[in-house]
């Protein structure tokens, strides 16, 4: 259950940073947009790792 919560939290953070990146692009601030995109990618990676751990857990407890 904790892996699901962790993944959800990081997907939500990634979405927030993607929205920020879009806003920054619209404002013409491409450097800030780039930073937000990198943050989004980091959160996506953490969420992906949590999903992998959850998949292992489900495989072990069939």
pLDDT in tens, 5-57: 998 999 999 999 999 999 999 999 999 999 999 999 999 999 998 888 877 77
pLDDT at 58 over 70: no
Residue 4 has pLDDT above 90, yes or no: no
What is the pLDDT at residue 1?
Answer: 79
pLDDT at residue 53, as a whole number: 80
Report the interhelical angle of 30-60 vs 2-26 (nearest 10°): 160
- pTM of this structure: 0.80
- Asked whether 34 and 1 are in contact (CB, 8 A), the reply is no
Residue 25's pLDDT is 96
């Amino acid at each position: 259950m904790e892996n699901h919560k962790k993944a959800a939290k990081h997907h939500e953070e990634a979405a927030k940073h993607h929205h920020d990146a879009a806003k920054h692009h619209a404002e013409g601030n491409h450097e800030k947009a780039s930073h937000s995109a990198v943050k989004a990618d980091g959160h996506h990676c953490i969420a992906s790792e949590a999903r992998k751990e959850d998949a292992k857990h489900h495989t072990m407890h069939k």
